Structure 1
Amino acid sequence: MPAPYSGKCLCGAVSVEIASEPLVVLSCGCDHCQVGAGGVAQVIGKFAEKDIKVSGEENLNTFTFSDTGSGNPKEKMFCKTCGVTMWTIPGAAKGSARMVRTAVLKDGLALKPKNEIYTINRPAWVKPADGANQFEKSSH
Protein backbone atom coordinates (compact mmCIF):
# COMPACT_ATOMS: atom_id res chain seq x y z
CA MET A 1 0.00 0.00 0.00
CA PRO A 2 1.86 3.13 -1.14
CA ALA A 3 1.55 6.66 0.26
CA PRO A 4 -0.46 8.75 0.78
CA TYR A 5 -2.04 7.23 3.88
CA SER A 6 -5.19 8.40 5.64
CA GLY A 7 -6.87 7.42 8.84
CA LYS A 8 -9.07 8.44 11.73
CA CYS A 9 -10.09 7.55 15.24
CA LEU A 10 -13.24 5.51 15.92
CA CYS A 11 -15.56 8.51 16.26
CA GLY A 12 -13.97 10.47 13.38
CA ALA A 13 -13.16 13.56 15.47
CA VAL A 14 -9.45 13.24 14.61
CA SER A 15 -8.16 12.36 11.16
CA VAL A 16 -4.71 12.20 9.64
CA GLU A 17 -3.22 12.37 6.15
CA ILE A 18 0.37 11.22 5.62
CA ALA A 19 2.17 12.07 2.38
CA SER A 20 5.20 9.77 2.74
CA GLU A 21 6.15 6.17 3.35
CA PRO A 22 7.01 5.19 6.92
CA LEU A 23 10.67 5.51 7.87
CA VAL A 24 10.24 2.14 9.58
CA VAL A 25 7.38 -0.09 10.74
CA LEU A 26 7.78 -1.91 14.02
CA SER A 27 5.89 -4.02 16.46
CA CYS A 28 6.41 -2.96 20.07
CA GLY A 29 5.69 -5.23 23.01
CA CYS A 30 6.82 -2.89 25.80
CA ASP A 31 4.55 -2.67 28.84
CA HIS A 32 2.99 0.61 27.64
CA CYS A 33 2.19 -0.74 24.16
CA GLN A 34 0.80 -4.03 25.46
CA VAL A 35 -1.57 -2.30 27.87
CA GLY A 36 -2.42 0.45 25.34
CA ALA A 37 -3.24 -2.12 22.66
CA GLY A 38 -4.99 -4.49 25.00
CA GLY A 39 -2.87 -7.23 23.44
CA VAL A 40 0.63 -8.56 22.91
CA ALA A 41 1.98 -5.55 20.94
CA GLN A 42 1.20 -2.47 18.88
CA VAL A 43 2.21 -2.08 15.25
CA ILE A 44 3.58 1.40 14.66
CA GLY A 45 4.77 3.31 11.60
CA LYS A 46 7.40 5.98 12.18
CA PHE A 47 6.50 8.86 9.86
CA ALA A 48 8.26 12.18 9.26
CA GLU A 49 6.50 14.97 11.14
CA LYS A 50 6.66 17.29 8.10
CA ASP A 51 4.53 14.86 6.05
CA ILE A 52 1.66 14.54 8.55
CA LYS A 53 -1.47 16.69 8.35
CA VAL A 54 -3.96 16.43 11.22
CA SER A 55 -7.60 17.52 11.20
CA GLY A 56 -9.43 17.86 14.51
CA GLU A 57 -6.28 18.48 16.53
CA GLU A 58 -8.41 20.29 19.12
CA ASN A 59 -9.98 16.89 19.88
CA LEU A 60 -6.67 15.39 21.03
CA ASN A 61 -5.46 14.92 24.58
CA THR A 62 -1.88 14.20 25.59
CA PHE A 63 -0.59 11.80 28.21
CA THR A 64 3.13 11.94 29.00
CA PHE A 65 4.95 8.78 30.07
CA SER A 66 8.06 9.36 32.16
CA ASP A 67 8.81 5.69 32.98
CA THR A 68 10.17 4.73 29.56
CA GLY A 69 12.84 2.22 28.58
CA SER A 70 14.97 5.00 27.09
CA GLY A 71 14.65 7.24 30.13
CA ASN A 72 13.25 10.01 27.90
CA PRO A 73 9.59 11.01 28.22
CA LYS A 74 7.16 10.20 25.42
CA GLU A 75 3.80 11.75 24.61
CA LYS A 76 0.75 9.68 23.70
CA MET A 77 -1.82 11.60 21.66
CA PHE A 78 -5.37 10.27 21.80
CA CYS A 79 -8.91 11.32 20.91
CA LYS A 80 -10.65 12.87 23.91
CA THR A 81 -14.02 11.52 22.73
CA CYS A 82 -13.41 7.86 21.83
CA GLY A 83 -9.99 7.37 23.50
CA VAL A 84 -8.19 5.93 20.46
CA THR A 85 -4.43 6.48 20.53
CA MET A 86 -3.41 8.06 17.23
CA TRP A 87 0.36 8.29 17.75
CA THR A 88 3.18 8.57 20.24
CA ILE A 89 6.02 11.05 20.13
CA PRO A 90 9.19 9.80 21.83
CA GLY A 91 11.25 12.59 23.41
CA ALA A 92 14.12 11.97 20.98
CA ALA A 93 11.78 12.30 17.96
CA LYS A 94 9.88 15.43 19.05
CA GLY A 95 9.56 17.75 16.07
CA SER A 96 10.91 15.20 13.60
CA ALA A 97 8.69 12.07 13.69
CA ARG A 98 5.54 10.51 15.06
CA MET A 99 4.95 6.85 15.83
CA VAL A 100 1.50 6.40 14.22
CA ARG A 101 -0.62 3.37 15.12
CA THR A 102 -1.02 1.52 11.82
CA ALA A 103 -4.47 0.30 12.91
CA VAL A 104 -5.86 3.85 12.58
CA LEU A 105 -4.76 4.05 8.93
CA LYS A 106 -6.96 2.75 6.10
CA ASP A 107 -5.45 -0.65 5.24
CA GLY A 108 -2.64 0.19 7.68
CA LEU A 109 -2.33 -3.33 8.99
CA ALA A 110 -0.92 -4.28 5.58
CA LEU A 111 2.26 -2.46 6.69
CA LYS A 112 4.50 -5.29 7.89
CA PRO A 113 6.91 -4.73 10.79
CA LYS A 114 10.60 -4.62 9.89
CA ASN A 115 11.56 -4.69 13.57
CA GLU A 116 9.97 -6.25 16.63
CA ILE A 117 11.06 -4.63 19.89
CA TYR A 118 10.59 -5.69 23.50
CA THR A 119 10.32 -9.31 22.39
CA ILE A 120 11.34 -10.19 25.94
CA ASN A 121 7.65 -9.57 26.79
CA ARG A 122 6.26 -11.69 23.94
CA PRO A 123 4.11 -14.60 25.14
CA ALA A 124 5.46 -18.04 24.21
CA TRP A 125 2.38 -18.73 22.05
CA VAL A 126 3.13 -15.76 19.74
CA LYS A 127 5.62 -16.38 16.94
CA PRO A 128 8.03 -13.74 15.52
CA ALA A 129 6.93 -11.93 12.36
CA ASP A 130 8.56 -13.50 9.28
CA GLY A 131 11.71 -11.63 8.29
CA ALA A 132 11.49 -9.03 11.08
CA ASN A 133 14.56 -8.11 13.10
CA GLN A 134 14.15 -9.17 16.73
CA PHE A 135 15.19 -7.03 19.72
CA GLU A 136 14.66 -8.04 23.35
CA LYS A 137 14.39 -4.36 24.31
CA SER A 138 14.39 -1.17 22.25
CA SER A 139 16.24 -1.07 18.93
CA HIS A 140 17.55 2.42 19.72
Structure 2
Amino acid sequence: MGFIGDFKAFLMKGEIVTLATAVIVGGAFGKIVTSFTNDILMPPIGMLLGNVEFTDLKVVLQDGIPAIMNGETEVTPAVAEVAIMYGSFVQTILDFVIIGFCIFMVLKAYERTKKKEAAAPAAPAAPSTQEKLLMEIRDELKRKA
Protein backbone atom coordinates (compact mmCIF):
# COMPACT_ATOMS: atom_id res chain seq x y z
CA MET A 1 0.00 0.00 0.00
CA GLY A 2 1.29 3.45 -0.83
CA PHE A 3 1.63 6.53 1.31
CA ILE A 4 -1.85 7.83 0.42
CA GLY A 5 -3.43 4.46 1.17
CA ASP A 6 -1.64 4.24 4.53
CA PHE A 7 -2.75 7.76 5.40
CA LYS A 8 -6.36 6.99 4.45
CA ALA A 9 -6.31 3.81 6.58
CA PHE A 10 -4.88 5.81 9.48
CA LEU A 11 -7.62 8.44 9.23
CA MET A 12 -10.38 5.85 9.02
CA LYS A 13 -9.40 4.11 12.25
CA GLY A 14 -12.04 4.41 14.96
CA GLU A 15 -9.59 5.87 17.45
CA ILE A 16 -8.89 8.89 15.25
CA VAL A 17 -12.58 9.68 14.81
CA THR A 18 -13.12 9.27 18.56
CA LEU A 19 -10.15 11.52 19.31
CA ALA A 20 -11.37 14.20 16.90
CA THR A 21 -14.81 14.10 18.50
CA ALA A 22 -13.27 14.39 21.97
CA VAL A 23 -11.17 17.40 20.93
CA ILE A 24 -14.21 19.20 19.48
CA VAL A 25 -16.40 18.47 22.50
CA GLY A 26 -13.53 19.36 24.85
CA GLY A 27 -13.07 22.73 23.16
CA ALA A 28 -16.76 23.51 23.48
CA PHE A 29 -16.73 22.36 27.10
CA GLY A 30 -13.75 24.62 27.79
CA LYS A 31 -15.71 27.60 26.46
CA ILE A 32 -18.65 26.71 28.70
CA VAL A 33 -16.41 26.48 31.77
CA THR A 34 -14.67 29.76 30.91
CA SER A 35 -18.03 31.47 30.56
CA PHE A 36 -19.22 29.92 33.83
CA THR A 37 -16.11 31.16 35.63
CA ASN A 38 -16.02 34.66 34.11
CA ASP A 39 -19.75 35.39 33.96
CA ILE A 40 -21.28 33.50 36.88
CA LEU A 41 -18.65 32.55 39.45
CA MET A 42 -16.26 35.51 39.50
CA PRO A 43 -18.74 38.45 39.72
CA PRO A 44 -20.17 37.37 43.11
CA ILE A 45 -16.69 36.58 44.42
CA GLY A 46 -15.50 40.01 43.23
CA MET A 47 -18.51 41.64 44.88
CA LEU A 48 -17.77 39.87 48.18
CA LEU A 49 -14.18 41.11 48.00
CA GLY A 50 -15.25 44.75 47.56
CA ASN A 51 -16.35 45.07 43.92
CA VAL A 52 -13.10 43.71 42.54
CA GLU A 53 -12.88 42.78 38.85
CA PHE A 54 -10.40 39.92 38.80
CA THR A 55 -9.15 40.63 35.29
CA ASP A 56 -8.10 44.10 36.47
CA LEU A 57 -5.94 42.80 39.33
CA LYS A 58 -2.30 43.41 38.50
CA VAL A 59 1.04 44.51 39.84
CA VAL A 60 2.37 47.40 37.77
CA LEU A 61 6.12 47.15 37.24
CA GLN A 62 6.34 50.19 34.98
CA ASP A 63 3.64 52.75 34.22
CA GLY A 64 2.75 53.38 30.63
CA ILE A 65 3.73 56.69 29.08
CA PRO A 66 1.57 58.25 26.35
CA ALA A 67 3.16 59.46 23.17
CA ILE A 68 4.26 63.09 23.07
CA MET A 69 2.93 64.79 19.98
CA ASN A 70 3.91 68.05 18.32
CA GLY A 71 0.92 68.65 16.09
CA GLU A 72 0.75 65.64 13.80
CA THR A 73 4.33 64.58 14.49
CA GLU A 74 5.17 62.08 17.18
CA VAL A 75 8.10 63.43 19.20
CA THR A 76 8.35 60.58 21.72
CA PRO A 77 6.72 57.21 21.14
CA ALA A 78 4.32 55.75 23.69
CA VAL A 79 5.65 53.23 26.21
CA ALA A 80 3.28 50.42 27.12
CA GLU A 81 2.57 49.58 30.73
CA VAL A 82 4.48 46.58 32.10
CA ALA A 83 2.38 44.65 34.60
CA ILE A 84 1.93 41.19 36.07
CA MET A 85 -1.73 40.32 35.42
CA TYR A 86 -2.33 37.94 38.32
CA GLY A 87 -6.13 38.39 38.23
CA SER A 88 -6.38 36.72 34.81
CA PHE A 89 -4.10 33.99 36.13
CA VAL A 90 -6.45 33.37 39.08
CA GLN A 91 -9.40 33.04 36.69
CA THR A 92 -7.45 30.61 34.50
CA ILE A 93 -6.59 28.49 37.55
CA LEU A 94 -10.28 28.41 38.51
CA ASP A 95 -11.14 27.30 34.96
CA PHE A 96 -8.58 24.52 35.25
CA VAL A 97 -9.90 23.35 38.63
CA ILE A 98 -13.51 23.30 37.38
CA ILE A 99 -12.57 21.39 34.21
CA GLY A 100 -10.46 18.95 36.26
CA PHE A 101 -13.36 18.35 38.66
CA CYS A 102 -15.79 17.73 35.78
CA ILE A 103 -13.42 15.27 34.12
CA PHE A 104 -12.94 13.53 37.47
CA MET A 105 -16.71 13.15 37.85
CA VAL A 106 -17.09 11.79 34.30
CA LEU A 107 -14.29 9.26 34.87
CA LYS A 108 -15.83 8.14 38.17
CA ALA A 109 -19.17 7.55 36.42
CA TYR A 110 -17.38 5.68 33.64
CA GLU A 111 -15.57 3.45 36.17
CA ARG A 112 -18.90 2.63 37.85
CA THR A 113 -20.38 1.47 34.55
CA LYS A 114 -17.28 -0.64 33.87
CA LYS A 115 -17.57 -2.29 37.30
CA LYS A 116 -21.22 -3.16 36.59
CA GLU A 117 -20.25 -4.68 33.25
CA ALA A 118 -17.47 -6.71 34.89
CA ALA A 119 -19.83 -7.92 37.63
CA ALA A 120 -22.29 -9.35 35.08
CA PRO A 121 -21.71 -13.10 34.68
CA ALA A 122 -20.06 -14.04 31.44
CA ALA A 123 -21.76 -16.56 29.17
CA PRO A 124 -20.14 -19.99 29.36
CA ALA A 125 -17.65 -20.61 26.60
CA ALA A 126 -18.60 -23.01 23.84
CA PRO A 127 -16.93 -26.40 24.18
CA SER A 128 -13.79 -26.92 22.15
CA THR A 129 -13.58 -29.39 19.31
CA GLN A 130 -11.78 -31.85 21.56
CA GLU A 131 -14.50 -31.60 24.23
CA LYS A 132 -17.21 -32.14 21.60
CA LEU A 133 -15.43 -35.25 20.35
CA LEU A 134 -15.11 -36.62 23.90
CA MET A 135 -18.81 -35.97 24.56
CA GLU A 136 -19.72 -37.84 21.37
CA ILE A 137 -17.54 -40.79 22.44
CA ARG A 138 -19.15 -40.75 25.92
CA ASP A 139 -22.65 -40.67 24.46
CA GLU A 140 -21.80 -43.50 22.02
CA LEU A 141 -20.42 -45.64 24.86
CA LYS A 142 -23.58 -45.07 26.94
CA ARG A 143 -25.76 -46.10 24.03
CA LYS A 144 -23.80 -49.34 23.49
CA ALA A 145 -23.85 -50.31 27.15
Fold agreement, TM-score > 0.5: no
Higher RCO structure (Cα 8 Å, ≥6 apart):
1
Higher helix share: 2
Larger radius of gyration: 2
The structure with the greater share of residues assigned to strand is 1
TM-score (norm 1): 0.16
